[in-house]
Amino acid sequence: MTHTALLRPRDSDALRAEIRWVANTTGVSVALGGEVHSEALLLSEFVGTLTNRLRGLVIARASGLGGLVLDSGRPASVADYRTATSITHDYDAPVSEEGIRSMLAVPVIVDRCPRAVLYAAARSGSPLGDRTMELVVQASRRLATEITIRDAVDQRVRMLELTTQSAANAPTVAEELRDIHAELRGMASCAEDDRLRGRLHAVCARLTHVLAGEPPPDSPRLSRRELDVLSHIALGCTNQEAAQRLSLGPETVKSYLRNAMTKLDAHTRHEAVVTARRHGLLP
């Protein structure tokens, strides 16, 4: 089994969590969704369904409501699924057997490609409102960010595996890995959601552990911000460049760097980076 397979959890777990969040937050009759495989959507996650007719259903591009958003890359809704003129009616039978009337669907877009679709549906004839749409869009964006992070982790680990296969390319690949690590830390520093920010930092810590090993017990303890700054300094960034990447002021960056150098007993920026790597704090 490769490092990539070990690091990446199943995307269906993250999809299931967002489907449950949609159901609990919106109060809709049914919430469901699925991942995109080979240009088709496979429905796999459900909350509130009464039958199994939708389970395992494969939705083709441009077919039904899910196929419409899969094809357009934009959210869409229908007030009455059975009479809607904006969609094809390839899936009327399973939808009708669930008693679903109104429905909305939101694609999960990663790097301009649909990776999943989230649905909210009601058995009443009342259209689903803007608030419900906003919440499902919110869930889709969280899921898109989660998948983006996982993709970045996989990319980095695959590059790590390449370093073991080709020693001649190791310096170049190692620098690219460090760049990706710094970019992940930059994403974490700009994340507004506390839970997402915490998960991003956890991913960075796991990656550092994979690349640099477990830090010794007596290693200096650097704060997240100090590590954020130091990871960009390790790439050769100036204080100004690190500030731009981390959305901080140059003086703030200088302060974090000074604190990190003090903790590492380093007299120069280069010495701080080398010491941090020796202690397993940076890849």
Q: Are residues 87 and 211 in the same domain?
A: no
pLDDT at 157: 73
Task: Specify if 62 maps to a domain.
Answer: yes
Task: Specify if 153 maps to a domain.
Answer: no
pLDDT at 54: 96
CATH number at residue 224: 1.10.10.10
Q: Give the CA radius of gyration of the chain.
A: 23
Q: Are residues 142 and 172 in the same domain?
A: no
Q: Are residues 104 and 200 in the same domain?
A: no
pLDDT at 42: 96
Looking at 114, 146, 178, the residue that finishes a domain is 146
Residue from 143, 141, 133 nearest 105 by CA: 133
Structure tokens, 130: 């803007």
Helix-strand-coil percent breakdown of the chain, rounded to 5? 55, 15, 30
Residues 180 and 197: their CA atoms lie apart, in Å, by: 16
Residues 276 and 283: their CA atoms lie apart, in Å, by: 9
Task: Specify if 159 maps to a domain.
Answer: no
In which residue ranges of the chain is pLDDT below 50? 1-6, 166-168
pTM given for the model: 0.60
Q: Are residues 177 and 92 in the same domain?
A: no
Q: Kindly list the strands in the beta sheet with 102-110, ordered across the sheet, starting from the edge strand earlier in the chain.
A: 58-60, 40-47, 30-37, 113-122, 102-110, 76-78
Q: Are residues 103 and 205 in the same domain?
A: no
pLDDT at 20: 96
Q: Are residues 24 and 119 in the same domain?
A: yes
pLDDT at 235: 82
Task: Specify if 222 maps to a domain.
Answer: yes
Q: Are residues 140 and 195 in the same domain?
A: no
Task: Specify if 21 maps to a domain.
Answer: yes
pLDDT tens-digit profile of 175-186? Answer: 666 777 777 777
Q: Are residues 30 and 89 in the same domain?
A: yes
Q: Are residues 114 and 196 in the same domain?
A: no
pLDDT at 165: 54
DSSP-based three-state secondary structure for 115: strand
Task: Specify if 151 maps to a domain.
Answer: no
Looking at 115, 146, 177, the residue that finishes a domain is 146
Q: Are residues 132 and 188 in the same domain?
A: no
pLDDT at 174: 62
Domain count, the chain: 2
Q: Are residues 198 and 102 in the same domain?
A: no
Looking at 99, 117, 146, the residue that finishes a domain is 146
Task: Specify if 160 maps to a domain.
Answer: no
Range of the domain at 197: 166-278
Residue from 63, 95, 68, 66 nearest 81 by CA: 95
Q: Are residues 28 and 142 in the same domain?
A: yes
Task: Specify if 152 maps to a domain.
Answer: no
| DSSP conformation class of 90 | T
